[in-house]
């Protein structure tokens, strides 16, 4: 498992072959085994195999071809609807669901479960890539998947057999000292370490046949303004439309 964790790379080229029997259920068992805040379990998944539906979701996510290619697309949901239904059945208040805190609990729960499932898939030799592009059009995605109120797609995940003719490489990460602070937050040495990483990342980009650029410049550009959020700058409005009060 450790070897597989360290060998992670996002896979964006898949063979069309279906997944082995039982692998989805195994990954879900791994996902459900993850910690979940207060055991609320405020997440769900929609597993999409239908090619037409995958094609539509691919377009909604900004035309990402790997969603059409991979035989399985998992949509990971923050799902407060189940507790809303339980409250309604018992004529019990469920106002706690209206708070940003509970939404965040659902997002964290979904991410922990998804990463357990990702590790499971990768340990089976399968590849995955997360799809945040699914938040480009949250209401549209919700309609297509028949999501109830207070249920939103946090991200998608392509799952399939990696196409060995177009292998993905392990992407270097920031030096550990940049992300690991001991006892107290400390930025001494950050600039120098990031400068070193810019060089490493640039070499990686070159190796991959991608336009070489400094990681730090690219990331600063990525957060420069709402125009770089692919429509996700209106997420608060979309969440309101999906029934999240976010008080
Ligand atoms: C929540 C989340 C959303 C992501 N969304 C996308 C996406 O929409 N399309 C894509 O190709 N990769 C997406 N990725 C993959 C990242 O780009 C990738 O993990 C990152 O560049 C590091 O590369 P690696 O996973 O190969 O190590 C996403 C990753 C995460 C965690």
Q: What is the pLDDT of residues 221-246, one digit of tens each?
A: 999 999 989 899 999 999 999 999 99
CA nearest ligand 1 atom 7, residue: 131
95 vs 97: CA distance, rounded Å = 5
- Could you give all domains of the chain from N- to C-terminal order, each with its CATH number? 2-168 (3.40.109.10), 170-226 (no CATH)
Q: What is the mean pLDDT of residues 133-158?
A: 98
Share of the chain above pLDDT 70, in %: 100
Distance 10 CA to ligand 1 centre (A): 7
Residue 180 has pLDDT above 90, yes or no: yes
- The mean of the pLDDT values for the chain is 97
Residue among 4, 6, 9, 10 whose CB has most ligand 1 atoms within 8 A, to mutate: 10
Angstrom CA distances, 246 to 85, 146, 155, 166, stand at: 18, 22, 19, 43
- Cα atoms in the Cβ-side hemisphere of radius 13 Å centred on 189: 10
The CA 159 to ligand 1 mean position distance, Å, reads: 13
Q: Which uninterrupted H or E stretch holds 161?
A: none
Instruction: Give 172's DSSP letter.
Output: P
Sign of CA dihedral 227, 232, 237, 241: positive
- Coil, strand or helix at 99: coil
pLDDT in tens, 212-222: 899 999 999 99
Look at residue 1 and tell me whether its pLDDT is greater than 90.
no
């Amino acid at each position: 498992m450790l070897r597989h964790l360290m060998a992670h790379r996002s896979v964006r080229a898949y063979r069309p072959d279906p997944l082995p029997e039982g692998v989805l259920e195994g990954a879900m068992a791994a996902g459900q085994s993850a910690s979940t805040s207060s055991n609320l379990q405020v997440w769900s998944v929609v597993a999409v195999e239908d090619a037409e539906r995958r094609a539509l979701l691919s377009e909604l996510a900004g035309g990402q071809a790997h969603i059409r290619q991979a035989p399985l697309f998992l949509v990971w949901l923050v799902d407060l609807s189940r507790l809303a239904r339980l409250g309604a059945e018992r004529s019990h208040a469920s106002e706690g669901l209206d708070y940003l805190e509970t939404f965040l609990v659902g997002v964290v729960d979904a991410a922990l479960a998804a990463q357990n499932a990702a590790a499971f898939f990768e340990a089976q030799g399968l590849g995955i890539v997360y799809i945040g592009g699914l938040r480009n059009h949250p209401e549209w995605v919700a309609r297509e998947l028949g999501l109830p109120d207070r249920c939103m797609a946090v991200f998608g995940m392509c799952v399939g057999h990696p196409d060995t003719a177009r292998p993905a490489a392990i992407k270097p990460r920031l030096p550990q000292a940049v992300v690991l602070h001991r006892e107290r937050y400390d930025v001494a040495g950050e600039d120098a370490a990031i400068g070193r990483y810019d060089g490493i990342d640039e070499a990686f980009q070159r190796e991959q046949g991608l336009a070489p650029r400094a990681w730090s410049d690219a990331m600063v550009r990525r957060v420069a303004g709402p125009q770089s959020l692919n429509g996700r700058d209106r997420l608060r409005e979309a969440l309101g439309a999906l029934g999240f009060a976010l008080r």
